[in-house]
Chains A and B, each alone.
Chain A
Amino acid sequence: MRIITHTCPDCGTVVAANELESDRVMKCPGLDCQAVLRFEDLPEDARDYFLENRDRYQL
């Protein structure tokens, strides 16, 4: 199963796609980081793969 993540360009915090997708737009959860992360920051093929397989990323 492909595991998709996005790394905050400001602080290096790594966020899993399931977390990005659930919020769509989120403040970076890194310490004192003000960056805004978006599901759309992921490459298009990663977004498509995630959305096609979304149920496998839920418990």
Chain B
Amino acid sequence: MKGVLLSGGTGSRLRPITHTGPKQLVPVANKPVLEYAIEDLKEAGITEIGIILGNKGRKEIQDLLGDGSDYGVDITYIIQGNPLGLAHAAGCARDFVGDDDFVMYLGDNILKSGITDLVESFEVGDYGAGIALQEVDDPRAFGIADVDDRGNVTQLIEKPDEPPTNLALIGMYVFSPAVFDAIDELEPSWRGELEITDAIQHLLEDGYEIDSHVVTGWWKDTGKPEDILEANRLVLEDTELTTAGVVEDGAETDGRIELADTSVIEDGAVVRGPVSIAEHTTIKSGTYVGPYTSIGANSTLEDIHIENSVVIGDSEITANGRIVDSLLGRNANVESAEELLPEGRRLVVGENSQLKL
């Protein structure tokens, strides 16, 4: 079994964060989203991984992952270029996959329970494909699978008016090499892409059985800022957090706190977990860091009240105010304007930024 990890796309819904890097490298609990996928694949016993790269962020992703040896896996890069659809991405991996089965994993997704059950469910049968499903409240907004009483998929329907089930496709698949012949038969959809659901439908029509696996833990597509915040909350809630850094006398801490060994919570600061604080970061006196917050490396916080937020790193946040439900990009600084005249907020804001003042 091999892994194909999709790491292309423009990240348009995460602008301005993605103006300077790929969406798969946005950190959740101070770890790039893509690393969670690598860990899931490895946990499922998959160590040969093809990384599909688009037109954006190739160098950053290759710089992070290298040849995979830091993660105990062997990585091959596959340059898709134009984002011509998930089936096109899979098709580009044909030479890499060869005659093996493979997992296709969307690199901006995070699953609580990993993919081991999905892989094992596929391997016990003789399937053309296996798909991960999750029960959703609004099936009209998703690609929906209909399944028989053995759990085999009988039909896939995109955003149905009358959904036969509430089981949505969540972007994790296992394929046999038969999918490549199905992809060869596809024509671009109305949006100019080769659709993976069309490839699976082809497999069904060619007589292949399609396994389904219903994911019960949380699953998150981290495509939008609010998704990053929720994924950060979910991961911090579930992850073991270790305090290795210095908590000075007079600092008030409560709950689970991950504090890197080079970071400090100074006298007079308050930190309430779950919180993650990365390397070389200082939480100074007068600062409150509230639950579900991740502070990236090389940052300094002073006087600020911040909670349910993600600070990617290399930031100076020293204003006397409250920041909630926020995502701050690398090198973003928030300083006080209290003694500046004329009074008012002073902003240098990039394209596609969102501010609520």
Residues in chain A within 8 A of chain B (CB atoms)? 1-3, 5, 7, 12-16, 18-19, 22, 29-31, 56-59
B88 touches A3 (CB 8 A): yes
* Chain A positions within 8 Å of B88 at CB level: 1, 3, 16
CB-based nearest B residue for A17: B81
Q: What is the total of A-B residue contacts with beta carbons within 8 Å?
A: 71
Residues from 183 to 207 in B contacting A, C-beta threshold 8 Å = 183-184, 186-188, 192-194
Assuming A13-B76, A14-B96, is B84 touching A59 (CB within 8 A)? yes
List B residues at the A interface (Cβ < 8 Å). Answer: 50, 53, 58, 62, 66-67, 76-84, 88, 91-96, 183-184, 186-188, 192-194
Beta-carbon contact of B94 and A3 below 8 Å: yes
Residues of B close to A29: CB separation below 8 A: 53, 58, 77, 79
Q: Are A57 and B84 in contact (CB under 8 A)?
A: yes
> Is B84 in contact with A7, judged by CB distance below 8 angstroms?
no
User: A14 and B50 in contact (CB under 8 A), knowing A3-B91, A5-B92, A31-B67?
Assistant: yes
Chain B residues within an 8 Å CB radius of A15: 78-79, 81
Give the distance to chain B from A43, nearest Cβ to Cβ, in Å: 13
A29 CB to closest chain B CB (Å) equals 5
18 A–B pairs (Cβ distance < 8 Å), ordered by A: A3-B91, A3-B183, A3-B194, A5-B78, A7-B95, A12-B76, A13-B79, A14-B50, A14-B77, A14-B93, A16-B79, A16-B88, A19-B81, A22-B81, A29-B53, A31-B62, A57-B84, A59-B83
